[in-house]
């Protein structure tokens, strides 16, 4: 069988008694990520990196001690003892307990935090939320029914209130 088309050959059309040639089967090919240390980056990996940030979850029936650092989002529904330092968002669900310092872009508290919170964007203290520590954020939102014991520092930039010296 030739791999090229012979321009001198006659094309035959299937007749009534001849079966039509089978169409080539098309299959989706799944690309696996490039091995660590490979020279050529995989195109599918590049698209994933530009997608929304991943979220890590500490489930409601877990108790974890340690330190969390990274660039994704963290959702705590259980108990965590240690510092949380992420570039993404941190959400402390209702019924969750965090004991330690929390530093993130945005922090949403509907559970309990025993420690200081620093947020580059905002801190939201929802009606079931409890903070026992200091809060420093660009924006602080406090719902009726929530509780806080500590100092709050918000609305200030490095240049002063409203960006003025």
Q: What is the pLDDT of residues 123-161, one digit of tens each?
A: 999 999 999 999 999 999 999 999 999 999 998 766 555
pLDDT one-digit tens code per residue, 5-54 = 555 655 555 555 555 555 444 444 444 444 444 444 444 443 334 445 68
Can you tell me whether residue 120 is helix, strand or coil? strand
**Which of 114, 79, 112 has the alpha carbon at shortest distance from 100?**
114
Q: Residue 136 burial by CB count (10 A; 0-12/13-18/19+): exposed, middle or buried?
A: middle
Q: Across the chain, where does the E strand assignment appear?
A: 55-58, 63-70, 73-76, 79-86, 89-92, 97-99, 102-109, 112-114, 117-125, 130-132, 135-142, 147-149, 152-154, 156-157, 160-161
Distance between CA 109 and CA 126 in Å, rounded?
6
Residue 84 has pLDDT above 70, yes or no: yes
For residues 73-98, average pLDDT: 94
**Which of 23, 45, 25 has the alpha carbon at shortest distance from 35?**
45
What pLDDT is recorded for position 47? 36
For the chain, give the mean pLDDT: 77
User: For the whole model, what pTM was predicted?
Assistant: 0.64
What pLDDT is recorded for position 24? 44
What pLDDT is recorded for position 58? 80
What pLDDT is recorded for position 61? 84
What pLDDT is recorded for position 114? 97
Distance between CA 117 and CA 136 in Å, rounded?
6
What pLDDT is recorded for position 46? 37
Angle at 57 between CA 77 and CA 80, to 5 degrees: 55
For residues 69-96, average pLDDT: 93
């Amino acid at each position: 069988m030739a791999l090229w088309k012979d321009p001198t050959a006659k094309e035959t059309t299937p007749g009534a008694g001849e079966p039509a040639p089978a169409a080539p089967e098309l299959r989706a090919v799944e690309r696996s990520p490039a091995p660590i240390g490979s020279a050529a980056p995989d195109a599918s990996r590049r698209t994933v990196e530009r997608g929304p940030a991943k979220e890590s979850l500490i489930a409601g029936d877990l108790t974890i001690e340690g330190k969390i650092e990274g660039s994704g989002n963290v959702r705590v529904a259980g108990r965590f003892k240690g510092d949380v330092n992420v570039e993404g968002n941190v959400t402390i669900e209702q019924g969750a307990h965090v004991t330690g310092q929390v530093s993130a872009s945005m922090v949403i508290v509907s559970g309990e935090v025993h420690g200081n919170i620093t947020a580059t964007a905002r801190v939201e203290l929802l009606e079931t939320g409890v903070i026992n520590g200091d809060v420093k954020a660009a924006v602080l939102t406090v719902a009726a029914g929530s509780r806080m014991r500590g100092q709050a520092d918000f609305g200030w930039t490095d240049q002063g209130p409203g960006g003025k010296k």
